Amino acid sequence: MNSPRAQPQPYCVVDSHTEGEPTRVFLDDRAPFAGRTVADLLGAWRTPEGGWSVPQELLTLVAEPRAAVATVGAILCKPTRPDHVAGVVFFNCAGPLGMCGHGTIGLAATLRHLRRIEVGEHRFETPVGSVTARVREDGRIEVDNVEAYRHRAGVEVEVNHRVVRGDIAWGGNWFYIVDEDRDLDLARVDQQLAHGVAIRNALERDRIRGANGAVIDHIALFGRPVSRDADSRNFVLCPNGSFDRSPCGTGTSAKLACLASDRSLLPGQVWRQESVIGSRFDAWFRTEPGRGDAIYPTIRGRAWIVAETSLLLDPDDPARASGWAELAEA
């Protein structure tokens, strides 16, 4: 007699996109996340090296065939502070993310869609600090990000027999920021991806890191804007090898830190950042006495809800553990 078939574990999610970049919010009122805080998850997922990882089963839920490769997961958590509406842990199919600007905008839009929050100001706990989202009447959402700063300026690295010069900056994730005298557009995505990967490999080869030896896992190319009312267009390589369809909130924050350090942008002055697909974030920053060149960026954009669903991981599915990409290589 055959054994009873194991029932798949459902994961309740809401999908959205922020200026073209997808976010998948995992709701906190169903197993296995019910009642968990950010600290609970990070403690459970701590690695022997002192960092943290994301279980493979969750990585599978933001990878093909269940999600577009650019998808960022956002696990909604129970807050530990009474003035915070929720905690959130971000990740993509390559692993954890410290913060995610577009994901925070998507999370705020999701919670408004679920009628858990309304127009106004709301605070969220993340693994790298608290952030504030302001939901406006017109649907736009502003995110006050964590502190951003430039770690090193003018860092040179040899890439394909030529020298690339860029800044290392923190905007909630680590970035190597390169100003490019070239057009950044969808027609050149393959070349831009290859260029970004080559830069990231060169940084790792030369052991060029962020503060405290942190791996620089995002490469951000900044070039000429296409729209007349934009200041720049960017192409951002994400840790999982995809590119950001939005202008990248943490990347734009890191760029603002570099502009501020160069005195090229003043506090409160709006920077209009265009993505490689033409979508846009408006961004500005404030400073605080005694914080040196560190800044506090704000990112403004829009998000749209695209689905509410339950994801299932069938125990017999060969793509359950590895994801479609690894399955295809086997």
Catalytic residue ranges: 100, 248
- Give the residue ranges of DSSP H helices in 206-293: 249-261
Residues 98 and 77: their CA atoms lie apart, in Å, by 15
| 302 three-class SS | coil
As given in the structure block, the two tokens for residue 82 are 């009474």
Q: What amino acid is encoded at 168 in this protein?
A: I
Distance CA 60, CA 115 (A): 29
Relative to beta strand 95-97, strand 120-126 is unpaired
Q: How many CA atoms lie within 13 A of 81 on its CB side?
A: 13
Q: Which token pair is 273?
A: 């950042």
Tell me the C-alpha distance between 194 and 176, whole Å.
Answer: 15
Q: Which residue has the tokens 């009312």?
A: 229
Nearest to 85 by CA among 106, 100, 113, 107: 107
